[in-house]
Copies of this chain bind each other. A is one copy, B any other.
Amino acid sequence: MEKLTIPEKTVERLPLYLRRSEELYSQGSESATSQKFVKDLPGISSAILRKDLSYFGNYGKKGTGYEIPKLIGRLREILKLHVETKVILVGAGNLGTALLTNSEFDHWGFEITSAFDSDPDVIGEEIGGVRVQSSQDLEQVIQIEGTKMAMLAVPANNAQSVTDSIVSAGIRGILNFTPILLEVPEEITVKRVDIMSKLKELNYHLDT
């Protein structure tokens, strides 16, 4: 069977399409043309929207456009939002607390199953419905739960050692909120949330 590979750029745009669909729907639109759809999505043309969607099937109606509720359903399927993916959080400081109390995870098919911290004052606290556990139990809990994804919101100086530990316990994907460039085996995927780089790009654009 031939496996069609979806371009990386397309994968990156899909969540944006879902957000935009939900926005249009909440504004009362039942359908939208590709033109109307990409209005206010900077850098995305109607042609690219049509091409991106066409990788997954024929969702539009020639002459009229796309039915929003149907599109939302399809995008939620493609993005597998009906399956709950377990994620752990390491580091329950201010940022960790913001993540634990963020209601978006649920909407996007994620469940933060456990949170960890090394501060005795924080261990045992319940934040956003999750009880914070000791970092000492990290590896054990990952192995028991079988969790494959982790968010890393610890201080920079702990980032690499925590990474080594969660990777050896079975974590395969890491969302890294620290400024550290983590070293991991090549089969492990790391994505960074890099605020400073984003700010610098913004700054660069304002100057240009």
Contact = CB atoms under 8 A, between A and B. Distances in A.
A60 to B, nearest CB: 21
A173 B201 CA distance: 10
B196 A175 contact: no
- How many copies of this chain sit in the oligomeric assembly? 2
Interface size class of A (residues with CB under 8 A): 35 or more
B108 A204 contact: no
Interface of A: 11-12, 14-16, 19-20, 23, 40-42, 79-80, 85, 87, 93-95, 97-99, 101-102, 104-105, 107-108, 110, 148-149, 151, 172-175, 179, 181, 183, 189-191, 193-207
A15 B197 contact: yes
A11 B206 CA distance: 13
Given A79-B200, A104-B196, A179-B19, A173 B206 contact: yes
A21 B203 CA distance: 21
A10 B23 CA distance: 32
A191 B200 contact: no
Contacts of A193: 193, 195, 198
A174 B199 CA distance: 9
25 contacts: A11-B201, A15-B196, A15-B200, A20-B181, A23-B181, A40-B183, A79-B200, A80-B203, A85-B203, A93-B98, A94-B98, A95-B98, A98-B98, A99-B195, A104-B196, A110-B196, A149-B199, A172-B206, A173-B202, A174-B202, A175-B195, A175-B198, A175-B202, A189-B205, A191-B202
